Amino acid sequence: MEKILTDKVKEAVFSLYNRQVDEKQIQLQKTSKDFAGDITLVVFPFLGFSKKKPEETGKEIGNYLQENVKEITGFNTISGFLNLVMDNKYWTDLFGKMVNDRDFGFKKKGSLNKTILVEFSSPNTNKPLHLGHIRNNLIGYALSKIFEANGYRVKKVNIVNDRGIHICKSMLAWQKWGEGITPEKAGKKGDKLVGDFYVKFEQEYKKQIQFLIEKGANKDKAVRSAPLMKEAHKMLRRWEDGEQEIIDLWNRMNSWVYKGFDKTYKSLGVSFDKIYYESDTYKTGREIVLSALEKEILFKKEDGSVWVDLSEEGLDEKVLLRSDGTTVYMTQDLGTAFQRYNDYEFFRQIYVVGNEQNYHFQVLVLLLDKIGYKWAKDIYHLSYGMVELPEGKMKSREGTVVDADDLISEMIDTARDMSEELGKLDTYSEKQKEDIFRIIGLGALKYFILKVDPRKNMIFNPKESIDFNGNTGPFIQYTYARIKSVIRKATEKNIKIPDKTDVRFEPNKKEIELIKLLAEFPKIVQDADFQMTPAVIANYCYELTKEFNQFYHDFSILNAEDDETRIFRLQLSEVTGRIIEKGMGLLGIEVPERM
RNA sequence: GGCCCCAUAGUUCAAGGGAUAGAACGGAAGUUUCCUAAACUUCAGAUUCAGGUUCGAGUCCUGGUGGGGCUACCA
């Protein structure tokens, strides 16, 4: 419709004022609720052509459109806005299509024949996942779903930073103070156990620094020369030399961590198509750097370290290989990117990584381009904002880091408490109930995080932020459950809901409003792709739900005036439920049959 | 110091240069003999400041203030 209108407006302006208009000047928008009409054309841009007042220009164009577009039955102009009134038949026909089309709003999977790679999660193996990772995972997973719904082939990938000094710290602490403990013996998730040893290292290390300072060393020197740190570096070198004892320990402790991560991923409901490991990709990175060095794209300093000079691009010099030949983060990322292009020949690669790494990705893209990879331009850093607590940033030192597992189970506990207080599920088995609590608790958490524009920082108050009323996941889930309940009741009464419709009567205003909102779904799915933000899906689901709740409140579905209306309302409910389910599905949020 | 990002009701979030800036929570007041009241209805309440561009600015530009990030041979 929008396309037809755009063309017709062009025609109108040409026939009325003999001028060609640029499509960009044709602004069509939803008519604001406070005015009569369905679609609004902003006429200000045409005043220069018409040389007439806004109202008059609007009327002239309106007349032309009404005569030439059969779906338009009327119009009004208010200052520079031409509000077009569409025939109800236009909306009910559209509704007919939705009833019939189970894939309404989605393009066929892979129909574009283009692959998008989405990297998200990217944990270090020395600590458990926390709230920041949750935001990262949810954004990455939702985006993957959104791309898929828009016809792309999607590969979800994870890059695990499994090597480096931070893991050595945990390993060393375990050797020194672990007394052979394992996750099984400790009764603890492996990622948590390894994280504990990381903390232990930092504590002991700090004591040593303090001791050295008291003995008269300056701070810098103390930081560098503390025996524990020296030992950790020694361990890193032994790891890089491939010493069996170290490699075995490394494998063992990492496997604990992976088991723990898997559990967290599973309870969050995210998954990956492929997991890359930096212990693997850093070698590729080094090769890339060395060969670029040969081609003199990079240069070597006297101490043997390898650098790239990005001063022409307005940046600095950046180190790529240390003087001892070991690699840095950037080197690994070069290797990872290269391997991924080899694996998938992606059309686009999205890195879901926090905005504190903006500079890093700017360098990465420039560097790949300089080295000569034509796909460098296809890399996009989805730079999401920090999650902060009411009192500021999460700080591990102050113990304010919100653990992912803890948060998830707290959410489920809250859902359990609320549900049991309401007592609506008393007839269900424990297992059924637990499943519903899980769906609601996670729904609350995921929706709360995803409704915020990823690019913005957000504040998360673990105690107060998460509601189950208002603009929340459970609110939307509740509406879905009510719809399902009505449909069950209809089935019990032997009312069949056909999957075709031909509405011959005039629906009421609220019903038309609902249809209009439902009709927006395909555009919303596209917008989420273009803007790369799940937030537009979340906001849409909320708006749709609110609209449905008003309809549900104002009109009876099962006790409608006549059969025709009853069937129509059931279909309207069914389609709404389906769109809610699909929309929430794009966010990775499940919807319960009852709650 | 240099570079980048952000600033909207008491609070947490919306608003592709377009109409009277939307919600939610919290506050005040209502709705249930009726399909799930985790719902619905009503009221009060906001664009950090100073300029500029534009027919039109929360949105674009310049500057100030306030907050965050980056600026490692860390990741």
A246 band by pLDDT with thresholds 50, 70 and 90: very high
B5: residue with closest CA to C1': A355
C-alpha A208/C-alpha A215 separation (Å) is 11
Q: Which nucleotide is nearest to A480 (CA to C1')?
A: B36
Q: CB atoms < 10 A from the CB of A150, how many? A: 20
- In angstroms, the CA of A60 and the C1' of B55 are apart by 19
B18: residue with closest CA to C1': A42
- In angstroms, the CA of A577 and the C1' of B37 are apart by 20
C-alpha A84/C-alpha A58 separation (Å) is 10
Q: Which nucleotide is nearest to A79 (CA to C1')?
A: B19
For residue A182, tell me if it sits in a domain. yes
Tokens of A515: 């249809």
- In angstroms, the CA of A143 and the C1' of B15 are apart by 22
- Total domains present in chain A: 3
Which of A47, A64, A86 finishes a domain?
A86
Q: CB atoms < 10 A from the CB of A251, how many? A: 10
Predicted pLDDT at A502: 86
Which of A52, A86, A120 finishes a domain?
A86
For residue A103, tell me if it sits in a domain. no
Tokens of A329: 């983060």
C-alpha A586/C-alpha A144 separation (Å) is 8
The one-letter amino acid code at A190 reads: G
For residue A19, tell me if it sits in a domain. yes
pLDDT in tens, A392-402: 888 877 888 99
Residues 6+ apart with CB under 8 A from A483: A548, A573, A574, A576, A577, A580
A438 band by pLDDT with thresholds 50, 70 and 90: very high
- In angstroms, the CA of A474 and the C1' of B38 are apart by 7
pLDDT in tens, A342-382: 999 999 999 999 999 999 999 999 999 999 999 999 999 99
For chain A, give the percent of residues with pLDDT over 90: 84
B75: residue with closest CA to C1': A329
Q: Which nucleotide is nearest to A539 (CA to C1')?
A: B14
Q: Which nucleotide is nearest to A316 (CA to C1')?
A: B71
For residue A326, tell me if it sits in a domain. no
Nucleotides of B under 7 A from a protein CB: 4-7, 11-16, 18-20, 23-26, 34-41, 55-56, 68-75
- In angstroms, the CA of A533 and the C1' of B54 are apart by 30
A170 and A82: one domain? no
A408 and A528: one domain? yes
Task: Work out whether the CA dihedral A509, A510, A514, A515 comes out positive or negative.
Answer: negative
Q: Which nucleotide is nearest to A560 (CA to C1')?
A: B35
- In angstroms, the CA of A41 and the C1' of B67 are apart by 40
pLDDT in tens, A566-586: 999 999 999 999 999 999 999
Task: Work out whether the CA dihedral A476, A130, A158, A452 comes out positive or negative.
Answer: positive
- In angstroms, the CA of A391 and the C1' of B66 are apart by 17
pLDDT in tens, A112-132: 999 999 999 999 999 999 999
A33 and A168: one domain? no
Inform me whether the pLDDT recorded for A445 exceeds 90: yes
A170 and A44: one domain? no
Answer for the pair A562, A479: CB distance below 8 angstroms, yes or no: no
Any idea what the CATH number is for the domain that residue A563 is in? Answer: 1.10.730.10
A445 and A542: one domain? yes
Q: Which nucleotide is nearest to A569 (CA to C1')?
A: B35
A432 band by pLDDT with thresholds 50, 70 and 90: very high
Answer for the pair A111, A343: CB distance below 8 angstroms, yes or no: no
For residue A244, tell me if it sits in a domain. yes
- In angstroms, the CA of A324 and the C1' of B23 are apart by 57
Which of A68, A86, A104 finishes a domain?
A86
A221 band by pLDDT with thresholds 50, 70 and 90: confident
Answer for the pair A411, A445: CB distance below 8 angstroms, yes or no: yes
B22: residue with closest CA to C1': A543
A66 and A191: one domain? no
CA angle, residues A168, A174, A178, in degrees to nearest 5? 180
Beta strands A274-277 and A72-78 are unpaired
What ipTM does the predicted assembly reach? Answer: 0.96
- Listed in sequence order, the DSSP H helices in A35-75 are 47-50, 54-68
> Which of the residue ranges A139-153, A188-202, A402-416, A463-477 would you say has the lowest mean pLDDT?
A463-477
For chain A, give the percent of residues with pLDDT over 70: 100
- In angstroms, the CA of A552 and the C1' of B32 are apart by 14
C-alpha A260/C-alpha A564 separation (Å) is 55
Predicted pLDDT at A216: 82
Per the structure, the complete domain to which residue A48 belongs is given by 2-86
Inform me whether the pLDDT recorded for A218 exceeds 90: no
pLDDT in tens, A521-556: 999 999 999 999 999 999 999 999 999 999 999 999
DSSP bridge pairs for A115: A153
B55: residue with closest CA to C1': A44
Summarize the confidence of residues A179-193 as an average pLDDT.
96
Arithmetic mean of pLDDT over chain A: 94
Beta strands A348-354 and A72-78 are unpaired
For residue A225, tell me if it sits in a domain. yes
Specify the residue for token string 């920082």: A457
- In angstroms, the CA of A102 and the C1' of B42 are apart by 39
For residue A503, tell me if it sits in a domain. yes
Predicted pLDDT at A392: 85
What's chain A's Rg over C-alpha atoms?
30
Nearest in space to A211 (alpha carbons), one of A165, A177, A219? A219
Any idea what the CATH number is for the domain that residue A80 is in? Answer: 3.30.1360.70
- In angstroms, the CA of A134 and the C1' of B36 are apart by 32
A427 and A574: one domain? yes
A168 and A80: one domain? no
- In angstroms, the CA of A163 and the C1' of B39 are apart by 52
Q: Which nucleotide is nearest to A41 (CA to C1')?
A: B18
Inform me whether the pLDDT recorded for A391 exceeds 80: yes
Q: Which nucleotide is nearest to A468 (CA to C1')?
A: B38
B69: residue with closest CA to C1': A356
Q: Which nucleotide is nearest to A486 (CA to C1')?
A: B35
For residue A381, tell me if it sits in a domain. no
